[in-house]
Amino acid sequence: MDAVIKELPLALFTTLASVGIGAFVAMFCAIYVNKSMEASGLKRLDKLTAVPLGFCVVALICAFFHLASPMNAFNIVNTIGSSPMTNEIVAFCVFLLLAIVYWIVALVGGLSKHTPRVVFSGIVALAGLIACIMMGLAYALPAIPIWNSPWGTVQVLGAMLLGGTLLGGTILNMSVKDTPLEGEADGRIRLLAMLGCLVLIIGTAVLFGMGASAKSAMIDVAANTGTLIVPLILTIAFSLVATATVFLGKGAKRTAWLGCGTIIALIVIFLARGIFYGVQIGIGL
């Protein structure tokens, strides 16, 4: 539990960043298949894109709180390519820069046609996906065998798909309030949410299992993982509840349900990341 508290800034960073990135991925998938979105709906969508951008900006601020001194942020330039965590921040900043440019271009009317919007939003979504992968790989440390596995990355990708899809779905439904999101676009939202739920649960459960079966001469492994059982149960249960919201309500009620699902997903992802940080049992421990 002490490890979770110590890594609180990074837990907040990975929670908020994954949801913000996932919203752009969800919006790209919906925009790609929804060619008949009205101009008024697009304008509302562009304004509401500030919401996932806000998530990402706050996430970046949380990451800097993990530094011993804010001045250490300037050392990032000197460690690009040699430090996994630096690569994580750089990849995220590249995504954030692209997302901001996309937002500005869309606000001034530069993406009024479907094809340019799909291409640009696709580039942003791809940059976000790369940033999420780098976020997971940042913890692949040989000294911590449980982290030095693909399951941390799997968990981050699941968080991105579940939380991001719910946030993106909320924004999309608010944007097309006159003609509720439906058909193939709505189907993509539901599919991504279900996939995210499955991936997040599997990744978190495997990490917990690895932590429970780890061996340490100095740590009571059973007691350590025992404190994480309740968060694990809550993660699984709330993940299912959050996913269920994509099937509930119509029109304004559907937007409300998706908003509630987003809040639940944020709690779920934070709990899941807490489990990740809670199983950091190193070779020397």
Position 80 pLDDT exceeds 70: no
Confidence (pLDDT) at 162: 94
Nearest in space to 128 (alpha carbons), one of 47, 49, 56: 56
Please, is 76 exposed, middle or buried when counting C-beta atoms within 10 Å of its C-beta (0-12, 13-18, 19+)?
middle
Position 41 pLDDT exceeds 80: no
Report CA 207 to chain centroid distance, whole Å. 18
Tens digits of residue pLDDT in 227-236: 778 888 999 9
Nearest in space to 180 (alpha carbons), one of 257, 261, 264, 266: 257
Q: Measured between alpha carbons, how far apart are the two ends of the chain, in Å?
A: 15
Per-residue three-class SS string for the chain: CHHHHHCHHHHHHHHHHHHHHHHHHHHHHHHHHCCCCCHHHHHHHHHHCHHHHHHHHHHHHHHHCCCCCHHHHHHHHHHCCCCHHHHHHHHHHHHHHHHHHHHHHHHCCCCCCHHHHHHHHHHHHHHHHHHHHHHHHCCCCCCCCCCCCCHHHHHHHHHHHHHHHHHHHHHHHHHCCCCCCCHHHHHHHHHHHHHHHHHHHHHHHHHHHHHHCCCCCCCCHHHHHHCCHHHHHHHHHHHHHHHHHHHCCCCHHHHHHHHHHHHHHHHHHHHHHHHHHHCCCCCCC
Position 205 pLDDT exceeds 60: yes
CA dist 39 and 113 (Å) reads: 10
* Predicted confidence band of residue 285 (pLDDT cuts 50, 70, 90): very low
Q: Which residue has the tokens 């990451």?
A: 63
Higher pLDDT, 142 or 60: 60
In one-letter notation, the amino acid at residue 184 is E
Record the tokens describing residue 149, joined without a space. 């596995």
Percent of the chain exceeding pLDDT 70 equals 77
What is the chain's mean pLDDT, rounded?
80
Record the tokens describing residue 59, joined without a space. 């996430």
Nearest in space to 235 (alpha carbons), one of 261, 194, 197: 197
Position 98 pLDDT exceeds 70: yes
Please, is 48 exposed, middle or buried when counting C-beta atoms within 10 Å of its C-beta (0-12, 13-18, 19+)?
middle
Confidence (pLDDT) at 82: 56
In one-letter notation, the amino acid at residue 189 is I
pTM of the full predicted structure? 0.85
* Predicted confidence band of residue 79 (pLDDT cuts 50, 70, 90): low
Tens digits of residue pLDDT in 245-276: 988 877 678 888 899 999 999 999 999 988 88
Tens digits of residue pLDDT in 168-197: 988 888 887 654 455 556 778 888 899 999
* Predicted confidence band of residue 217 (pLDDT cuts 50, 70, 90): very low
Tens digits of residue pLDDT in 115-133: 888 899 999 999 999 999 9
CA distance readout (Å), 235 to 12, 18, 204, 276: 16, 16, 8, 12
Record the tokens describing residue 119, joined without a space. 């291409």
Query: 208 and 275 in contact (C-beta within 8 Å)?
Result: yes
